[in-house]
Amino acid sequence: MAGRLQDKVAIVTGTGRGIGAAIARAFAAQGAQVVIAEIDKIAGTAVATETEGLFCRCDVTDQADIDATIRQTLDRFGRIDILVNNAGANVFHRPHEMPRSEWARCMALDLEAGWAMSEAVLPDMRARGAGAIVNIASTHGFKIIPHTFPYPVAKHGLIGLTRSLGIEYAAEGIRVNAIAPGYVDTVIAQAYWDTFEDPAAERRKAEQLHPPGRIGRPEEVAMTAVFLASDEATFINAETITIDGGRSALFHD
């Protein structure tokens, strides 16, 4: 049986572990050819081997790496159907204590890279009149947790980028959507809990914040990315799907 992404060519950034690796696995399982655009050569190569994908060592904040990734993808597959902007990192500070360089680091990775990668795939997608871009934003893209500055600024911007590009290119057959996960069980989440005195208690607290009593799994984000990237979602555009077990809908008393 044909997969939901059969023979589509998908570049997924930040694919060495966590949500990006889960997206690469889910896309490959649905028949896509996956380009593993990852800064960490060892982790990226392992995921590429597992998914029979193409590894391109790529720092998404480096234009030369982006250009090389696009070139290698087009040389190998001849087209780009899907881009998933997943690479990102928590940059958490109290605003008045933050070195200016941290603002630049956060914006470069969590916001500008999404545009730089989109800009790089647009010529091929526009030439063929088809394409799907999926940005991995965050519930930080709507709401603010104190002392996590400037990550939410970048993720609000990424949702703005999604809506903006979605409108600009809709008439050319290109859809741009985002996913806003709440807590997902990855190294990034554990690293955040590890900044507290009792990481296990912090994890339990995070689990209890979510109505199902647990946090999300990378695979749950990946399956939503499959849907948004596929031809099942052809009239969904400039939209952001929240994946947080209902946490955002809960009114704490």
Binding site for ligand NAD (CB under 6 A): 13-14, 16-20, 38-40, 43, 58-61, 86-89, 109, 136, 138, 181, 183-184, 186-189
Nearer to ligand NAD, 126 or 163 (CB): 163
Strands 82-85 and 9-13: parallel
Nearer to ligand NAD, 128 or 248 (CB): 248
Whether 151 is catalytic is yes
Q: How far is the CB of 160 from ligand NAD (least distance, A)?
A: 15
Tokens of 173: 């057959």
Tokens of 21: 């690796």
Q: How far is the CB of 207 from ligand NAD (least distance, A)?
A: 12
Please say whether the beta carbons of 150 and 99 come within 8 A. Answer: no
Tokens of 158: 């990424």
Q: How far is the CB of 90 from ligand NAD (least distance, A)?
A: 7
Q: How far is the CB of 93 from ligand NAD (least distance, A)?
A: 15
Q: Is 100 helix (H, G, I), strand (E, B) or coil?
A: helix
Nearer to ligand NAD, 98 or 108 (CB): 108
The type of residue at 64 is: A
Of residues 172, 109, 110, the one with CA closest to residue 138: 110
Q: Is 185 helix (H, G, I), strand (E, B) or coil?
A: coil
Q: How far is the CB of 33 from ligand NAD (least distance, A)?
A: 19
Q: How far is CA 131 from the centre of its chain?
A: 16
Nearer to ligand NAD, 62 or 172 (CB): 62
Nearer to ligand NAD, 129 or 213 (CB): 213
- What is the rounded distance in angstroms from the CA atom of residue 197 to the CA atom of residue 163? 39
- What is the rounded distance in angstroms from the CA atom of residue 56 to the CA atom of residue 214? 34
- What is the rounded distance in angstroms from the CA atom of residue 228 to the CA atom of residue 179? 9
Q: Which of 151, 169, 183, 192 is catalytic?
A: 151
Q: Which residues are CB-neighbours of 115 under 8 A, at least 6 positions away? A: 161
Total count of residues recorded for the chain: 253
Would you please indicate which residues are annotated as catalytic (active-site) residues?
Answer: 151
